[in-house]
Structure 1
């Protein structure tokens, strides 16, 4: 029997292979550094941060029945996550994310989430087969959803009665996948977590600051948005008002996973009863601590 989770994390759970160097890099650079291989993916990063805040997340994703997949599922369970909700594919390999970071930030990244996309709606089985919920008793808790799913599946989720009672928190996996969140704009569903570039892609225009971007998304039909802009300000926008704060200034030593850390901290603070002002402040503090290298995912 599946344990009762505090939140569902739906999306990519894969291996992160990240090369980091203290050198400033450009196209073609060949520099010394460190290469790590750790559990990652947007849903996984959010889940790991939520565990640190005392949550027990359940993972809804696709992981292959290969050696890499067995190792990944074991790593998730060891970190306090519910893993018997994961769809294990016999013919799809475990996904991988690869990135290179220099002293000047993210240089390049490739997300191979083809298996998650190919699995499609199979990953949502626990929401209809009684393990977590059913069509008669839809899931009514928190859901963190990432844009590594296909546009068709995200559109299905935005309209599905299986999610009608859920508190949906949605984030694109990257700017390149930001437009996959359009169904949540048009349906006015959930809370969207985006950065300034992603907000611009969803609205098909450029924004100078997070507050302007939040207004643009709300005007397009969003129910609630949280827009970040790196080390600049961040805005929590609802139809009844906007809240903007500036994060603490820190030395940036890494960037991959910062947005996921921010989102998880914001969700956790809200679930803990924090005011919108305190929740945004806690999320900005958590992200600043993460990018400074003081806390590991």
Structure 2
């Protein structure tokens, strides 16, 4: 295996100069850095992770804490896309990922923070977790750098999808298509505040359009769970006076709505218009193709990974970064005559 001493011999410089060039130190010229890096690539040099850790005092290991309420794990389509984007971004920076849990390795009473200390992680990215839990609060309050996804906490860095704006835009789209009788089956309220932001966007769009809200058409379903949404859709569509359009908690829940509509011998969008949220690949395979608000999962994950690296390597300032969504127009919304 080629070492920095071999590179130093070929380049006719000291091993410390090679090390500085490969680690982008500022006390050698850019021309020397480029020459040494080019030689390292040509010789197939690959850094020894243990040696690198000894030099930098880092483990190059990032913890990921992800536990969703539906217990779907890595089958959770929305967060699976975010996690994959995080992984790719961290790997580009030379970092590996460790999934954080409690009760690891036979230590059944160990906390999330204790697992992080045990693994020696340089930082932790938290997504789809109960941010109100004592263990999570303990981890966030520790000296380990953290990046939060879809949760804002003062003094910590967060990557937030623009849920308020996304839902407001969804309602405005339905109104533009002629719908004034709009129902909303939202997800359960949790510690992230996502549901509250979407509800606020819904009510604001209706208020600005001067359209009264029928509170009977506002129901609590669930994110990534069929049964609650299915029952809500069935209940709403069997009312004497039902809405012309329904907003779903997410695209996965929209599948339940499609089944409920079919079992009631109704059709989409002829009898009821439906609109999803997330913009998952599955939404574009539904028939009719689902109109949905697409969250930019690749950007959310990439920004989380980049921010984590900056916090670790440059002691970057904490900030809240907002990620916009975009409308994916399908065939599930009927245009009403005005």
Coarse TM-score class (shorter-chain normalised): 0.3 to 0.5
Give the greater-gyration-radius structure (CA).
2
Normalized against structure 2, the TM-score is what? Answer: 0.30
Give 1 or 2: higher helix fraction. Answer: 2
Looking at secondary structure, tell me which structure has more strand per residue: 1
Greater relative CO (CA pairs within 8 A, separation 6+): 2
